[in-house]
Chain A
Amino acid sequence: MRRSAVRDLLIGAVVLAALVLLPVLWPSKALIDFVIRGAALALFATSLNLLVGYGGLVSFGHGMFFGVGAYSFGLLMQRTGMPIPVAFVVTIVVTAAVALLVGAICVRLKEIYFAFLTLAFQMFLHSLIILWVPLTGGDQGLLGGIPRPPFFGIDLGDQRQLYIAACVLLVAGLLLMRHIVESPFGFTLRMIRDNAARTGFLGVEIFRIKLVAFVLAGVFAGIGGVIMSLFVSGAYPEFAYWTMSGEGIFMIMLGGITTFLGPTIGTVILLLLNDFVTRFTEHHGLMLGAIILLFALGLRRGITDFLVDHWRRTRTPAATRRGH
């Protein structure tokens, strides 16, 4: 195993332990709710960054997989009564299949054409959810709550246990995605982003790499959707609406594209902003817009990118002096 992978695993374990201990040290139901939502959206934002940051594929339709994840999991639990782990695996398969279908058509295109085609598929899925009332409940969403039968002694109906499950999924998901971007596959993806033609000349099958990245990103977004559906005990068409994809882009913009944890930090910032701003003013749209504008104009590439740049700049002279 690579040394960096061992380091990542260790960091993951420490973070997970810290997250699990957090509610013991600071018992607050609001904190638990916040982290569960954060886990769902951080997985979603980071998976979108696999495409945007690492693949140069700016998808405007990523919310569709968040929606597919939430709806397939919710429907499986409501209609089939299968155990949660089985429904979870089936949901991953369903999301992957949808991503494969959509990706096979979309990733052939570049830039704005790719962005708009993903948006079109998303709107198609959203319309399907709205119109297929007998299955999806239409605009009212999946009604009646999602049943959460206990499995292996775990009861996700208990918010504390759901919290731990969400933390485990978050950390495992982030570790897997980290592994993906640090693998040769991840470097090939970055190479395609930087110069697709040259990569093609090296014998890399660009279409295949892009498609695999698209499917992987879709699956992780779907897992985010599963967590969210458990949190709200339902699934709603808004999950698959373009505003969801827009929020993902915001999170990435706030947090930073080139740093792996940027989207996660962006998620935390956006959630905090949203929760606090809506508490104090009804003009939250204006406030959020202004803050995002400040980020876009002032930091340009999100907060972590800004900090990392700054850190590197202050370190470089010292490094040079040591003879690099």
Chain B
Amino acid sequence: MTGNRKSRLDRRTLLKGTSAAAIGIIGAPLIARGQAKPIKIGMPTILSGRVAQLGASSRNGVMLEVEKVNAAGGLAGRPIEMVIRDSKGAPQEAARVARELVNSDGCEILIDAEASSGAFAVHEVARDLKVLCLHTNSETSSLTADPKLRIPNAFRVARQGIHDSIVGGGYAAKIAEAKKLTKWMTCSPDYAYGRDTTAQFIEYLKHFKKDIEVVGEAWPKLFQPDYTEVVTKILQTKPQAMYSCLWGGDLTSFIDQGNIYALFTQIETFAVNMADYTALTVVKNLPKGIHSGNRYIKTFPKTAANAAWGDAYRAKYKEYPTNWAWQNATVIQFLAAAAKKVNSADGAKLAEALRGLTIESPFGTDGKLTLRAEDQTLVGYAIGWGTTIPAEPYVPETTAGDWKQITELEAEWKKKNNYT
């Protein structure tokens, strides 16, 4: 009896199986047509360690836009599937993860959300594997400016050191002229970024105002906890103005400790990385009147679109967007626009479309962003300087930089560095 029942069951299973298979065979092309193969985009970024917060905000920025693009049908009909992995901020790990994403996970595009050295490591992977690669966080100018490093399949969708220096130098020169600030001092972290950025800022400050004198330099170590000696050195040197490119926790520690000595009421301070929510909201008593470049701030550009984007991000992730967040959001907007233009999600075709592409964006100075064709880098983004107030909106007014001037001086700078 049992055997009988078993055989009946088996027949039913067989019937079910056959019909399912039949539906599968007949239906598969229909399903495939209705739901194209997803396009996998790999993204190595830093999700652990000191800058994990920035890596997480990069992921948030990307996901916010991916949802919108997928709701609208994806890249040329193919839904985007993000594969985001932690590189721990180590370049060899970034290279490994990037290779793995392409070779094992089948990612067709890389969004390189790495900082400095990691970005260069991923760049080499892109050169090797010839996969479309979009750098979203490295601000080191040489990554795109140096023709020796350039490859047709890599783009930078991020701000750039040289642009910041030109705008910063021009802005600071105007303030220096108005307030008669000639004795300057610098206080920046002691590594390549700190040294390069500071030298460039001073270069352009002197370019716009000839009688600047640098009376002292302080080079605190990266991630230094105690700034007492730096603060006393500054107080002893008695400059009229000070430039600093300290960032993140280092900047907030420096501001907190400098406040004890009322440093910022005595000296006109230009801290390029101050106007970033990760710094603005962490400082205990944010002094009034610190000059800063914009990183991401809801009030600049002062448009409804930008404010709405900032609010939407905050509503979704319960925190303020960062500079990395808008850059990573932008990359998805660019990919969507490029895919629409060529009606394809193929890497080579997308690269062709991206070269010289202009899109509408809340982050552009005049509502537009462009991936400049000649060096495949982002231009036209909102870049400017303003002064802080202790509470929201932290930087109420920002003076925008002039992109015509930036482009001219950047061309000169490239010529000087044999980048042409």
Which residues does A use to contact B, with CB under 8 Å? 28-30, 33, 37, 130-131, 133, 137-141, 143-145, 157, 159, 228, 231-234, 236-239, 243, 275, 278-279, 282, 284-285
Contact assessment for A30 and B104 in the assembled complex, using a CB-CB cutoff below 8 Å: yes
Given A139-B117, A236-B92: A278 in contact with B86 (beta carbons within 8 A): yes
B413 at the A interface (CB under 8 A): no
How does the 8 Å CB contact mask read for B161-202 relative to A, with 1 for contact and 0 for none? 000000000000000000000000000001111011000000
Listed by A's residue number, 10 A-B pairs whose Cβ atoms lie within 8 Å are A28-B104, A30-B104, A33-B103, A37-B96, A130-B191, A232-B96, A234-B95, A236-B92, A275-B96, A279-B85
CB distance from A290 to the nearest CB of B (A): 15
Question: Looking at the complex, which one of B90, B96, B196 makes contact with A33 (CB distance below 8 Å)?
Answer: B96
Contact assessment for A144 and B121 in the assembled complex, using a CB-CB cutoff below 8 Å: no
Contact assessment for B48 and A29 in the assembled complex, using a CB-CB cutoff below 8 Å: no
Contact assessment for B191 and A30 in the assembled complex, using a CB-CB cutoff below 8 Å: no
B360 at the A interface (CB under 8 A): no
Contact assessment for A238 and B91 in the assembled complex, using a CB-CB cutoff below 8 Å: yes
Sample of 11 more A-B contacts, CB < 8 Å, known A28-B104, A133-B195? A28-B103, A30-B103, A133-B192, A138-B191, A138-B195, A140-B117, A140-B120, A234-B121, A236-B117, A275-B96, A285-B48
CB distance from B112 to the nearest CB of A (A): 14
Contact assessment for B121 and A139 in the assembled complex, using a CB-CB cutoff below 8 Å: no
Contact assessment for B149 and A140 in the assembled complex, using a CB-CB cutoff below 8 Å: no
Contact assessment for B120 and A282 in the assembled complex, using a CB-CB cutoff below 8 Å: no
- Closest residue on chain A to residue B99 by CB atoms: A33
CA distance A225 to B92 in the complex (A): 11
CA distance A239 to B148 in the complex (A): 24
Q: Max chain A CB contacts within 10 Å: which of B120, B121, B124?
A: B120
B146 at the A interface (CB under 8 A): yes
CB distance from B108 to the nearest CB of A (A): 15
Question: Looking at the complex, which one of B96, B103, B117, B120 makes contact with A237 (CB distance below 8 Å)?
Answer: B117
Contacts of A137 in B (CB 8 A): 192
Contact assessment for A228 and B92 in the assembled complex, using a CB-CB cutoff below 8 Å: yes
Which residues does B use to contact A, with CB under 8 Å? 47-48, 85-86, 88, 90-92, 95-97, 99-100, 103-104, 116-117, 120-121, 124-125, 127-128, 140, 142, 146, 148-149, 190-193, 195-196
Contacts of A138 in B (CB 8 A): 191-192, 195
Contacts of B85 in A (CB 8 A): 278-279
CA distance A220 to B90 in the complex (A): 23
Contacts of B95 in A (CB 8 A): 231-234
CA distance A28 to B116 in the complex (A): 30
CA distance A178 to B140 in the complex (A): 45
CB distance from B131 to the nearest CB of A (A): 12
Given A138-B192, A278-B86: A236 in contact with B124 (beta carbons within 8 A): no
Where chain B touches its partner, the secondary structure class is helix
Contact assessment for B86 and A284 in the assembled complex, using a CB-CB cutoff below 8 Å: yes
Contact assessment for B47 and A282 in the assembled complex, using a CB-CB cutoff below 8 Å: yes
Contact assessment for A232 and B103 in the assembled complex, using a CB-CB cutoff below 8 Å: no
- Closest residue on chain A to residue B142 by CB atoms: A143
Given A141-B120, A233-B128: A282 in contact with B48 (beta carbons within 8 A): yes
Q: Which 10 A-B pairs have the closest CB atoms?
A: A138-B192, A29-B103, A30-B104, A233-B124, A236-B91, A232-B95, A141-B117, A140-B117, A139-B191, A145-B124
Contact assessment for A232 and B91 in the assembled complex, using a CB-CB cutoff below 8 Å: yes
- Closest residue on chain B to residue A32 by CB atoms: B103
Contact assessment for B104 and A29 in the assembled complex, using a CB-CB cutoff below 8 Å: yes
Given A30-B103, A237-B117, A284-B86: A139 in contact with B148 (beta carbons within 8 A): no
- Closest residue on chain B to residue A37 by CB atoms: B96
CA distance A251 to B104 in the complex (A): 25
- Closest residue on chain B to residue A137 by CB atoms: B192
CA distance A144 to B127 in the complex (A): 10
- Closest residue on chain B to residue A70 by CB atoms: B92
Contact assessment for B117 and A284 in the assembled complex, using a CB-CB cutoff below 8 Å: no
Contacts of B127 in A (CB 8 A): 145, 233
CB distance from B307 to the nearest CB of A (A): 31
CA distance A145 to B150 in the complex (A): 11
Contacts of B140 in A (CB 8 A): 140
Q: Max chain A CB contacts within 10 Å: which of B104, B127, B140?
A: B104
CA distance A141 to B149 in the complex (A): 14
Given A234-B120, A234-B124: A33 in contact with B100 (beta carbons within 8 A): yes
CA distance A30 to B191 in the complex (A): 34
Contact assessment for A141 and B142 in the assembled complex, using a CB-CB cutoff below 8 Å: no
CA distance A285 to B47 in the complex (A): 11
- Closest residue on chain A to residue B128 by CB atoms: A233
CA distance A231 to B93 in the complex (A): 11
Contact assessment for B104 and A139 in the assembled complex, using a CB-CB cutoff below 8 Å: no
CA distance A11 to B169 in the complex (A): 66
- Closest residue on chain A to residue B138 by CB atoms: A140
CB distance from B91 to the nearest CB of A (A): 4
CB distance from A18 to the nearest CB of B (A): 22
